[in-house]
Each structure stands twice: as structure tokens, then as C-alpha cells.
């Protein structure tokens, strides 16, 4: 069945592009046309939905809700005034959704008759985490590997100093592996399993691809921006905690952050709050104090593999790539 469908698609659209093969104009045309047709159908459905129910609030889920470009145009192409997009909009989100349903129906094993207090998932930091003792033991075990790479390791007990030192390294063009707290639930790296860079550097995308990512040139890197500054840098002002919407960067700001501004002037932003990720917010605030830019470049902590989950995976990725600095909890490892 797959073979017959593949043959039919190739007869209509041409042969599939092999991994690593150069991008041709027809590949660009197909991608653009597919997006345009999706948006045409998507916005027609939204307008019909609003006409039927007259509700100003919209929640989306399913694989299509991962289309951040279309999501970023909802307010511009429909009457909806509020949009909620979960951190894991695809099939994986069913697990946490099911748990939330049961949690509302039962409390301490007893059925609940009255509605319980409404829960809003405003962050995705629900995955595994590692203790300081585990990180310390890992660094001790891998001391020889670190020494072979001429790495210096230190523990920083002062969070402010840790964030300021990391922010300074970002301003110097360093590539930072940032491993903190609980892993994100969903496909996006949201500041706990992230690789960070300076959004002001036009060459940062090339640096990241050369040192670590080695991915297609057309794929943009995302800005993590302090929520309170979104209106100053983007043409739309909305909360995007899960990096699920693409907004246009204000035209006068685009030259200031070329590494996180796509060729069409857009950015797939993540808004960062002090109450949901205080350490990441403090880091970006430190970078803002140094540069007057309230955002950092954020991409997933991996090298063409699943995003790192455990500290040993983060350390392995750091050692086999050309990353400059690794921050594991309170520990900083520098080449």
C-alpha cells in the first residue's frame, strides 16, 4: 500500500529528494504550495467554526496544530481573539490529556461530583530531571574525557553569577549547551534542554550548523524572548510559551537579530516567564542587560538525534561536537 501511494505521489510531484541532496526550485515550490493550500482550508474552517459558535477563544490540537506558520496567522485571518496551543499537540499529547481528565474526575481515589478548580497547562517542564549529586558523580566519572578535551569544570552556587557568566559567553559568540531542571514535554526545546547562541550575529546560524546541527540552511533558529518585551520586537503581541506560533519581527528590529529572523522577516518565538522558568528568564535578562536585546537564539540540544534527556547524553553531545560551554545545572564546563 505504501509503495503504491509513493509511486502515485512521485508520478504527480516528481521523485522524492534523497537525504542530503541539493534543494531544487521544485522542492521549494511544492513546500510553498502545500503550505498555501493548507492555510486556505484551515482559515476557512476557522471562520466557519466561529460563525457557528460565536466564541472568541480557540484551542487547537492534533498534528496540524504543529503548523506554527499558520498558527501565527490565526488572529489575522479569523475573528478569534484568544488561541491556546498545547505543548504536545500531536498524538503524544493524548497521554497528558487523559491524565488531566482522570485527575479532574478523581481525588485521592474518590470520584468527584463537583467540578474541581480549572487547570491551565502554562509550561511544559514535566519530564525527568537529575540531581546535583548525579551531575557531580557523572563529571567525576568522565574526568579523563573532559581532561582530554582540555575542559575546565566549576560549580557555581550563585544563580545570578551563573546566568551572568553564561550571558557574557553568549555575547562573545560562544555556543552554549543549557541543561536545566525537568525536560520539556513535547517536541520543542524551551530552555531546559537547549543550545543557545547570540541572535545578533548574522553568522550564528552557520556557526551552529558547522559546530553541531548540520541541518538544511532553510531551517530557521528560534528566539526565546522575555514575555514583557514581545510587543517591542514582534508585530503581534501574544503569549507563545510552547514555540507554536510564527510572528513577523518588526521591520526596524530585523537587522538587530539576523540569526533568529527568517528570510521572510518572521520568527518562531518562545515567550519566557519568570514564574514558569525563573533561571532561563534570569539568563535572558542578563543577556538583555548586556546587549539591550531581550532574547537569545534557542535550538534543541541534540546533534541529529533525539533531544538529550539525561546529563550523560548532554555531556556526550558536548564532547563529540564543537560546543564551547556546557551548563549542567549549577555546573559549568568550558573548552
What is the per-residue pLDDT across 81-115, written as a single tens digit (0 to 9) for each? 999 999 999 888 888 888 888 877 877 767 766 55
Q: Could you report the per-residue pLDDT of 118-160, keeping only the tens digit for each?
A: 778 999 999 999 999 999 999 999 999 999 999 999 999 999 9
Residue 127 lies in a domain: no
Residue 190 lies in a domain: yes
Answer yes or no: do 64 and 155 share one domain: no
Q: How many domains does the structure of the chain reveal?
A: 3
- The CATH number assigned to the domain holding 212 equals 3.90.870.20
Residue span of the structural domain in which 288 resides: 132-334
Answer yes or no: do 55 and 154 share one domain: no
Q: Could you report the per-residue pLDDT of 179-191, keeping only the tens digit for each?
A: 999 999 999 999 9
Q: In this structure, are residues 292 and 143 in contact, taking their beta carbons and an 8 Å threshold?
A: no
Answer yes or no: do 315 and 225 share one domain: yes
Answer yes or no: do 225 and 98 share one domain: no
Answer yes or no: do 99 and 164 share one domain: no
**What percent of the chain shows pLDDT beyond 90?**
79
The whole-number pLDDT of residue 21 equals: 87
Tell me the sheet residues that pair with 267.
247
Residue 55 lies in a domain: yes
Q: Which positions of the chain have pLDDT values less than 50?
A: none
The whole-number pLDDT of residue 113 equals: 60
Collect all residues with Cβ–Cβ distance below 8 Å to 182 and sequence separation of at least 6.
125, 126, 127, 128, 129, 192
Residue 115, SS3 per DSSP:
coil
Q: Is the Cα dihedral 273, 275, 280, 283 positive or negative?
A: positive
Compute, in degrees rounded to 10, the torsion defined by CA atoms 307, 326, 153, 294: -140
Answer yes or no: do 170 and 308 share one domain: yes
Answer yes or no: do 223 and 317 share one domain: yes
Task: Record the pTM.
Answer: 0.93
Residue 52 lies in a domain: yes
Answer yes or no: do 139 and 9 share one domain: no
- Total residues belonging to the chain: 335
Q: Specify the residue for cell string 549547551.
A: 177
Collect all residues with Cβ–Cβ distance below 8 Å to 133 and sequence separation of at least 6.
none
Residue 320 lies in a domain: yes
Residue 36, SS3 per DSSP:
helix
Q: From the CB of residue 312, how many other CB atoms can be counted at a distance below 10 Å?
A: 16
Which DSSP category does 172 fall into? T
Residue 115 lies in a domain: yes
Amino acid at each position: 500500500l505504501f509503495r503504491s501511494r509513493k509511486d502515485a505521489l512521485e508520478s504527480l510531484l516528481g521523485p522524492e529528494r534523497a537525504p542530503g541532496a541539493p534543494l531544487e526550485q521544485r522542492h521549494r515550490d511544492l513546500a510553498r504550495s502545500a503550505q498555501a493550500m493548507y492555510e486556505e482550508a484551515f482559515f476557512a474552517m476557522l471562520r466557519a467554526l466561529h460563525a457557528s459558535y460565536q466564541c472568541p477563544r480557540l484551542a487547537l490540537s492534533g498534528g496540524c496544530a504543529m503548523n506554527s506558520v499558520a498558527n501565527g496567522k490565526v488572529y489575522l485571518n479569523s475573528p478569534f481573539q484568544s488561541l491556546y496551543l498545547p505543548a504536545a499537540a500531536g498524538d503524544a499529547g493524548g497521554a497528558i490529556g487523559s491524565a488531566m481528565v482522570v485527575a479532574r474526575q478523581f481525588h485521592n481515589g474518590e470520584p468527584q461530583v463537583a467540578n474541581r478548580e480549572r487547570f491551565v497547562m502554562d509550561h511544559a517542564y514535566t519530564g525527568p530531571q537529575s540531581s546535583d549529586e548525579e551531575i557531580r558523580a557523572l563529571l567525576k566519572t568522565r574526568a579523563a574525557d573532559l581532561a582530554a578535551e582540555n575542559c575546565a569544570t566549576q560549580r557555581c552556587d550563585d544563580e545570578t553569577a551563573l546566568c551572568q557568566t553564561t550571558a557574557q559567553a553568549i555575547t562573545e559568540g560562544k555556543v552554549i549547551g543549557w541543561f536545566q531542571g525537568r525536560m520539556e514535554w513535547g517536541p520543542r526545546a524551551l530552555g531546559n534542554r537547549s543550545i543557545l547562541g547570540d541572535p545578533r550575529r548574522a553568522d550564528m546560524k552557520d556557526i551552529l550548523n558547522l559546530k553541531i546541527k548540520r541541518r538544511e540552511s532553510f531551517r530557521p533558529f528560534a528566539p526565546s524572548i522575555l514575555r514583557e518585551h514581545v510587543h517591542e520586537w514582534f508585530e503581534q503581541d501574544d503569549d507563545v510559551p510552547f514555540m507554536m506560533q510564527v510572528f513577523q519581527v518588526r521591520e526596524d528590529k530585523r537587522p538587530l537579530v539576523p540569526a533568529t529572523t527568517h528570510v521572510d522577516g518572521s520568527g518562531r518565538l518562545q515567550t519566557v516567564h519568570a514564574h514558569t522558568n525563573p533561571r532561563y528568564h534570569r539568563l535572558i535578562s542578563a543577556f538583555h542587560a548586556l546587549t539591550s536585546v531581550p532574547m537569545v537564539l534557542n535550538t534543541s540540544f541534540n546533534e541529529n538525534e533525539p533531544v538529550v534527556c539525561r546529563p550523560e547524553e548532554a555531556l556526550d553531545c558536548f564532547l563529540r561536537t564543537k560546543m564551547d560551554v556546557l551548563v549542567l545545572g549549577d555546573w559549568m564546563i568550558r573548552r
